[in-house]
Amino acid sequence: MLRHWIISFLVAVIFFTSVRQGYAKPYDDGFSSAQTIQTRYFTVSLAAGVDNLVLMRSLDIPPSHKVLAGQSLSGVTYAPDDLGDLLDALFAWASNVLDMQLFSYKGNIKVTRNAEQLKSVYRSLYGVENRAEKAFYIYEMNTVYISQDNFTKEILGHEIGHAIINNFFVVQPPAKVQEVLAGYIEYQLRKPVAR
């Protein structure tokens, strides 16, 4: 009797899982052929025309913060391929601000050429106009979308904060609480940084 129940349960789980996957809405955000960078915490996709050196300058994170990403200090400047280290440092920085450590986190950051492409991505995903003009985070996809024009540590840190909050808590806090916490990260990142 117990064996029959276990087999029935497993068959039901497999059936409903396959049905759910079969009906999942496929999405095309236009990043299937994008340049990708793998970091400790992120898979970063850059739309055509996005320059990672421009992104690094826009973040304005001092090289000394490479220590946050677990990297050694090799000088006072960044190499052209240090974008991943900067993003990992920003993730660690935001985690420290909230005192919410996610050591096995892995998410996505997708960078559009400009605000118009960001709006187009939002429209293709949701069928409505984008309410957030600079960046947005989608919990179900564990993905931050941001435009190259707004690629600053404050804006990106705010969205990474949403990712941290959503992956830290088993039961999600109310949206207003999440905004306050993400806003706190943004506030902390706006403070002057010792160089």
Identify the CATH number of the domain in which residue 131 sits. 3.40.30
Write the DSSP symbol of residue 179. H
Q: In what order do the strands lie in the sheet with 107-112?
A: 35-38, 42-46, 107-112, 143-147, 135-138
Coil, strand, or helix at residue 46?
strand
What single letter denotes the amino acid at residue 181? L
pLDDT at 72 over 60: no
Mean pLDDT throughout 180-192? 92
- Distance spanning both ends of the chain, measured CA to CA: 69
Looking up tokens 């949206």 gives: 175
> The whole model's pTM is what?
0.79
Q: Per the domain annotation, does 13 fall within a domain?
A: no
Query: What are 21-61's pLDDT values in tens digits?
Result: 433 455 667 787 778 999 999 999 999 999 988 999 899 88
> Domain range holding 138?
31-190
pLDDT at 167 over 90: yes
Structure tokens at 181: 């916490």
User: What confidence score (pLDDT) does residue 144 get?
Assistant: 97
Q: Per the domain annotation, does 16 fall within a domain?
A: no
Q: How many domains does the chain have?
A: 1
Mean pLDDT throughout 142-167? 96
Q: What percent of the chain has pLDDT over 90?
A: 56
Q: Per the domain annotation, does 24 fall within a domain?
A: no
Query: What are 126-151's pLDDT values in tens digits?
Result: 888 877 679 999 999 999 999 999 99
Q: Per the domain annotation, does 154 fall within a domain?
A: yes
Q: How confident is the model at residue 174 (pLDDT cuts 50, 70, 90)?
A: very high
CA atoms of 73 and 64, how far apart (whole Å)? 7
